[in-house]
Structure 1
Amino acid sequence: MTAGTASAEPTAGGDPSEKLSGWLSVASNLDLSTNPAVANEQIDAATESADVLGAGPTGLQISEQGIAVTVYYSTTPSDADVAALAALGTVDDVAAKYFVIGATVPASKLDAVAALPHVTSVVQSLAPTTSGSAREAMASAVGAVPAAAADDCRTVPANLADPLNVPLAQELYKVDGSGVKVGIISDSFGTSTDALTTPAEDVAAGLLPGAGNPCGYTQPVQVVREAEGPGSDEGRAMAQLVHSIAPGATLAFASGGNSQVAFANSVEALLADGADIIVDDLGYLDELMFQDGTISNAVTEAESQGVPFFTAAGNDTSVGRVGPSTGSVISSWETPGYRPIDCPAVIATSLTQAGLTGDCLDFSPTGADDPTDQLLYPDLQGGVASIMLQWAQPFGAADTQLTGVVLDSNGAVVGFTPFAGVDPFQVIRFQPTGGAYDFVVVRDTTGGASASLPRVKAIFLGSFLGGAEYYQSTGGDIVGPSIYGHAGTPSAVSVVAANAETPDTLEPFSGTGPTTLYFEPIPSTAALATPISGAPDVTGVDGGWTNFFSNQQPVSGHPGVYSFTGTSAAAPSVAAVAALGLQLNPQATPQQVRAALTSTAEEVPNIFNGVSSQDATGAGRVNAAAFLAALPPVPVPPAPVPVPVPAGGGGNATQLAATGAGETGSALGLGALVLLAGSVLLIGARRRRATR
């Protein structure tokens, strides 16, 4: 099946083992220890002994209770479905409207979970990554930012306001975000063990709202859902940046948790809490490239309720620094159709020893067979490099099984994943020590090759890839785009980053597009009539100053001040500007907010070779003053129309009808007054309230 071709709906029938992801299939056959470290060693040892293309990091979240998994259903999970799953493990999050449940399940119970009624697939839950600067520290250093004028009540200047033209917007329209609630989703708010301050100290410093805020913004941050364990508190840093631009806005925080299901529930919690805007900075490596998944569906739900959703575009752009690929964007590689050829000898041997047959993907678009794409990585000093591999088949109904393998310069396997079941994605992780690595895509042909030759895409995450053998888009192959998942869904405003120090220069790690969707959102497996391409939408600014992010770059000349970079910082800068707009026009729809932001954005020079300006910067850098001017005006209620009052009603009939006053308080006069008051109340209410 090629991209754009419909497939059968996923069903709950068939072999339950085929519904498990590759690593879960391995784990289900083991008597795993309840000690997480020992359990990981057991999984690695088992894959080595089975010669399943070698062993590597699993990425599984293993606890004493079992393995964190996401269970997908063919129908809305009922109370009976939840109870049946709870009998086999611990139910962590239920997002029934999205046909999915998050749970922690002992390895010995995985097959039983897969065999439950209505279950279509079971995959390991992958913990999220944030889009803050810690993730791309090797790719970007932050210099000194010119000092911004500091309010006496703030200990750290609000340095993101000027690059977005916020002071002029505030002067012209007298807005500070009052009356608007901004919901923030990130890893944690106040659980970091490394932070230099507490949230209460941030309030006292004038950097967060709350009781005792010296600037007079006393509305406390509402922590709707906190992380269960220690995090980076990147959500608190995002809150500081929103407060620096829209200090009058009410802030709410919800942790994205450790799964897509938890994220979706956090969206629902913020909507229930009355959020007018939501912004996030998380990415989950099990999100989809070719189809809207669970999180994207939750984002679409927020938009349908009239709530604009802003998201970080990610920091996964790599620009070649070595060899012929120098200067080219090499973050990903994609081909319109799988091209089968013979595998390298080491992989062919491993397949045979495992009792499997297979072929490999030809990376060469010219017909010269080449089963490897040579990648150049720096020494990550124990850090992990991740490669997302996906193919354009519907989630839960893939008829092709692929896996990725990484070979070192000696031809030894250093990273791989077992073949998947019905889900078209894999994540390959390994630890580069510097040098050349060969990336191989392998197809399982055991029992007969699938007739499908789907579109295949790999994203090389982390922005530190130094070089690639295939570095140019040619012959239908596409090299470069790094945005994936809900950062590319049409329902979200996807934000890339320019630094506040040099706001006319895009950050070199900032995510690039386009993303292209080929299938309707899950749980559907139907192809879209026309593929949808998009993202990014606009450029925000990062390098925002905080007081507690000790793992970030210190700001020269400002002791105790740290620069928070990455699209994690850029996204809240734009969300805060949107909050100013919703104060000015509470009735503005997400579509009107997006249109006003993009139509008034200022051009940012494109620094990426081979990438269009739209795919690098979106519409350009947000201009707060121009954005507010472009928003549609708030409709003015019409003046009351005088209505004649029957004779004998007393007083001036026309005046009574217009004012509702009179000796008798006539029903007609009071009704007119009620209607007028009702119209004013309706004008003051956000349109989304009526749609909930």
Structure 2
Amino acid sequence: MKDHRCSILSITALFVAYGTSFAAQSGPDLAGQIVAIQIEKAARTPAERKLDSQLLFLSRETAGLEAVAGAPLLRSRVCREPDGRVTVDISAPPSVDLRQAIVGAGGSIIYESPRLGALRVCLPPAALQGIAAREDVKRIKQGARLVRHTGPVLSEGDAAHKAASSRTFFGSNGSGVKVGVISDSVDYYEDSVENGELPSFSILPDRSGIPGSGEGTAMSEIVADLAPGAEIIFASASGGKAAFADSILLLREAGCKVIVDDISYGNEWQFQDDEIGQAVNDVVADGALYLSSSGNEGSLAKGTSTTWEGDFASGGGEALLPAGVVHDFGPQNFNRLTDDPSGGSLQWSDEYHTSANDYDLHILSADGSTIVSSSADTQDGDDEPFEFIDEINPGERIVIWKANGAAPRYLRLSCTGNPLEIATAGQTIGHAATASCMSIAASDASAVAPGPFTSDSPVRDSSSDGPHKMFYEPDGTPITPGNFLASGGVTIPAPSLTAATGGATSVPGFSPFYGTSAAAPHAAALAAVVWSRKPALTNTQLRTLLESSCIDIEDEGYEVNTGHGILMADLALGLTRSPHEIWRQSNFNVVLASGSSLPNADPDGDGVPNVVEYATGGDPNAPTPAPLAAVSHAGSVFSLSYRKNPTASDATLSFEHSATLSGWLPITPATDALISTAGGIQLRQATLGVGSNTADFFRLKATAP
């Protein structure tokens, strides 16, 4: 326990509006309130310490008590359900006894995961402490709500990505590839199936989600538009992080090679993979390609960033706050939202099961005179480095406090609903920015419709930027032991690339729709079309191919707002061409053989079919000026001089002989030597001894895919 035996009643202080330290002034006892919170933390019972502080404060308030004695205006800001209950995540192995206790206390179970030992439930605030007192319950946290990454409407991604024309030209529509879609719900999907919008669609059992927006249906329609041959399987992310993670694994078990989501949770871990990030890692390690929307929470370059990241810096006040100090954001000791209310979270670079560095997140009144809400969980060695407040109002001051005994750490303050007054880059959240996931930014296709994207197409102002800092392996092993500041850890590039916002759907409210929620399924569909055409690709090879198939936009090269640029179907499918298809396109302007481009066709009428022209470096549209092969002999040893196209790596030139010009038999040359090279075409000579002086005929045979 911390020793808070200090004189606090005589302390009077205010935050200076634009200062770098605390200053003693007349007015409310703000410093005393901060110290009072620390005293309250030290006095919590074992059951109270299992609750995150906002839930603990709520349970006291509903019992008619002060949240914290000595901070009279502090209130919990927990978002409650219409019936007054609160959604929470319980860390405990599901059991009959626990279920009975929850229902008996007036609660209901939303989701349970035996694999992760977790439940999401609704509980009356008065029941929180009773459930927390159970021995099988390890922790009860606020049930962070899923974030749907949508926005304003109008886009036509099929044309903007050149997807429709490329499907025809390259002959690939996603057939043979299962695409898993994860979102909130699939309202209206029956209409979409009946109307032919979803020709091949199914839902994992008990994974349709809580009825809501139908965003999953809209995402699935976009996949079907761009990859009409793909099989689409839906699973909801509703029910908390455990439910989301289980849906990811179940889609892979169902055979999905491409999985895409547009969901995040506000309490996803940022510096270490949590259950969602680990599920993504697992399916990617198993061979799947995973994509996620980068989010619509803004970027520093566009002036819309909702994030501040950086090392803790002391803002002073040591003399007035004996237990700790506040953080200095640079020009001032607090931050503010610039417009609408938003939730706010604080994370720091401790391992997520064993944090012993105590930080708190305080919300002050606009004039800085009093604490109006606070997230003040205890971190003493077996806790998460996480503080969360459901609602922060514009103008209120956001303050980060560090206990004196806590080590300086890399901090992340995120208010995903509104830009911050003092902001940095690095907004892309949790699993979407892990190394194994492709995060997708968004560009407005309505600006180019009905034409394609160009190098002048910008990324949306709201599209979340990167990069992403990681300090721990999934098992908690430090990446840079002893260095948990900005110079430590690893920096992961995010987003990966950009795709179209929107796409016309038949779903009410999404006809069409904007946001990275629409961009992610566009990219996933193109991935399915590419994989369908070249199924031998590994997921790593496919990702590299996609990132190499983008139009560079905005700043030159890779950058944290657009990734590698806007993904284009023609560029991606162009990289799947075989050498023979590249030759065919250069000579006939087609990739798929037909008519005069068929292997055995002879469009120039010189008696040499296309496949031989290809293998020997001939021109299929102009008669061959000289023989492609010539035979000479010395006794029983025959030599065949021939031309070879070294770029025709998928063609085979072989030798055959016959004494009767029928019944040709293969013959292996004794030698096959390079004589010369001209214009990239080799002249070679093969020695074909047959061991007798009897008459024999020889021929050069060309085969190609």
Task: Give the TM-score range, shorter chain.
Answer: 0.5 to 0.7
Q: Which residue of 2 aligns with 1:333?
A: 308
The equivalent residue for 2:568 is 623
SS in 2 for 1:257: coil
2:525 aligned with 1:570? no
**Which residue of the partner structure matches residue 130 of structure 1?**
148
> 1:637 and 1:602, CA in 2 relative to 1: closer, same or farther beyond 3 A?
closer
Partner Cα separation in structure 1 for residue 502 and residue 185 of structure 2: 20
- CA distance 1:626–1:301, change in 2 (3 Å): same
**Larger relative helix fraction:** 1
2:111 touches 2:239 (CA, 8 Å); kept in 1? Answer: no
The two structures have a TM-score, normalised by structure 1, of: 0.67
Residue 248 of structure 1 aligns to a residue whose secondary structure is: coil
Query: Structure 1 residue 506 and structure 2 residue 455: aligned?
Result: no
Match of 1:487 in 2: 432
Aligned residue in 1 for 2:169: 172
Cα distance in 2 for residues equivalent to 1:204 and 1:319: 44
Indicate if the aligned counterparts of 1:506 and 1:606 stay in contact, CA closer than 8 A: no
Native 8 Å contact 1:84 1:116 kept in 2: no
Could you tell me how far apart the structure 2 residues matched to 1:525 and 1:110 are? 33
2:503 maps to which residue? Answer: 544
Distance 1:528 1:98, change over 3 A: farther
Displacement, 1:239? 0.8
Q: Which amino acid aligns with 1:430?
A: E
2:208–2:234 contact (8 Å) kept in structure 1: no
Alignment of 1:25-36 (within 5 A): 25-26=56-57, 30=60
Write the mapping of 1:29-44 to structure 2, written as runs, cut at 5 A. Answer: 30=60, 42=62
- Is residue 2:53 matched to residue 1:22? yes
- Provide the residue aligned with 2:390 in structure 1: 429
Change over 3 Å in CA distance of 1:228–1:204 after alignment to 2: closer
SS in 1 for 2:247: helix
What residue in structure 2 maps to residue 251 of structure 1?
232
Q: Which has the higher contact order (CA 8 A, sep 6+)?
A: 1
Aligned runs of 1:143-182 on 2, under 5 Å?
159-182=156-179
Alpha-carbon contact 1:61-1:127 (below 8 Å) kept? no
Partner residue of 1:371 out of 318, 330, 333: 333
Alignment of 1:53-202 (within 5 A): 54-59=74-79, 67-71=87-91, 82=95, 85-86=98-99, 88-89=101-102, 93-95=111-113, 97-98=115-116, 100-103=118-121, 108=127, 110=129, 113=132, 116=135, 121-133=139-151, 142=153, 159-190=156-187, 198-202=188-192
Shift of 1:108: 4.0
| 3-state DSSP of counterpart to 2:212 | coil
Question: Is the 2:120–2:239 contact (alpha carbons within 8 Å) kept by the matching residues of 1?
Answer: no
Shift of 1:95: 4.3
Query: Taking structure 1 as reference, are residues 239 and 228 closer, same or farther at Cα in structure 2, changes over 3 Å only?
Result: closer
Residue aligning to 2:632: none
User: How many Å separate the matches in 2 of 1:56 and 1:409?
Assistant: 17
2:266 counterpart of 1:285: yes
What is the distance in 1 between the residues matched to 2:490 and 2:78? 33
Are the equivalent residues in 2 in contact too, given 1:598–1:619 (CA < 8 A)?
Answer: yes
Name the aligned partner's letter for residue 629 of structure 1.
Answer: G
> Which residue of structure 2 lines up, in the alignment, with residue 155 of structure 1?
none
> What amino acid maps onto 1:362 in structure 2?
D
- In the other structure, the counterpart of 1:417 is 375
Alpha carbons 1:208, 1:243 under 8 Å: kept: yes
Q: Is the 8 A contact 1:85 1:91 kept in 2?
A: no
Q: What residue number does 2:416 align with? A: 461
- The aligned counterpart of 2:407 is 452
* Contact 2:360–2:377 (CA under 8 A) maintained in structure 1: yes
Query: CA-to-partner distance for each residue in 1:644-674, whole Å, 9 max, x for gaps?
Result: xxxxxxxx9x99xxxxxxxxxxxxxxxxxxx
Amino acid at match of 2:327: L
Alpha-carbon deviation of 1:114?
Answer: 6.7
Q: Which whole-Å CA distance do the structure 1 matches of 2:568 and 2:349 have between them? A: 37
Q: 1:624 to 1:58 in 2, by over 3 A?
A: same
8 Å CA contact retained: 1:60, 1:126: no
User: Which region of structure 1 is more displaced relative to structure 2, 88-97 or 538-547?
Assistant: 88-97
- Specify every segment of 5 or more residues in structure 1 that has no aligned partner in the other structure, as ranges: 1-13, 31-40, 134-140, 146-158, 191-197, 210-218, 321-326, 349-355, 472-478, 553-561, 640-651, 656-692
Is residue 284 of structure 2 the alignment partner of residue 303 of structure 1? yes
Tell me, yes or no, if structure 1 residue 439 matches structure 2 residue 457. Answer: no
Name the SS of the counterpart of 1:458 in structure 2.
strand
Residue 230 in structure 1 maps to residue 211 in structure 2: yes
Matches of 1:115 and 1:454 in 2, distance apart? Answer: 33
The structure with the largest alpha-carbon Rg is: 2
CA distance in structure 2 between the partners assigned to 1:427 and 1:575 by the alignment: 32
Residue 176 of structure 1 and its aligned partner are, at CA, apart by 1.4
**SS of residue matched to 1:221:** strand
- The equivalent of 1:389 in structure 2 is 346
Amino acid at match of 2:463: S
Residue 257 of structure 1, CA deviation: 1.2
Q: Out of 415-424 and 49-58, give the one that drifted further.
A: 49-58
Distance verdict in 2 for CA 1:225–1:574, change over 3 Å:
farther
Per-residue deviation, residues 86-140 of structure 1 (Å, max 9, x unmatched): 46437654545556554556664656657636x764422212011011xxxxxxx
Instruction: State the one-letter code of the partner of 1:125.
Output: G
Superposed displacement of residue 406, structure 1: 2.7
2:469 matched residue in structure 1: 516
The yes-or-no answer on 1:594 pairing with 2:543 is yes
* Identical pairs, percent: 25
Q: What do residues 388-439 of structure 1 show as CA deviations (whole Å, max 9, x unaligned)?
A: 211111112111222222334333545432334411112223353x5x3322
Alignment counterpart, residue 314 of structure 1, candidates 295, 305, 309:
295
Change (3 A) 1:512 1:395: same
Are the structure 2 counterparts of residues 234 and 67 from structure 1 closer, same or farther at C-alpha, using a change threshold of 3 Å? Answer: closer
- Contact 1:588/1:632, CA 8 A, preserved across alignment: no
Question: Residue deviations 1:209-250, cap 9 Å, x none?
Answer: 2xxxxxxxxx34335444553311110110111111011211
Q: Who is 2:21 aligned against?
A: none
Tell me the secondary structure at the aligned position of residue 570 of structure 1. Answer: helix
- How far off its partner does 1:376 sit? 4.8
- What CA RMSD, in Å, does the superposition of the two structures yield over aligned residues? 3.7
1:585 maps to 534
Gaps of 5+ in 2: 1-44, 103-107, 448-452, 482-488, 580-648, 653-662, 667-705
Once residues 291 and 249 of structure 1 are traced to their aligned partners in structure 2, the CA distance between those partners, rounded to angstroms, is 33
Could you tell me how far apart the structure 2 residues matched to 1:128 and 1:44 are?
A: 31
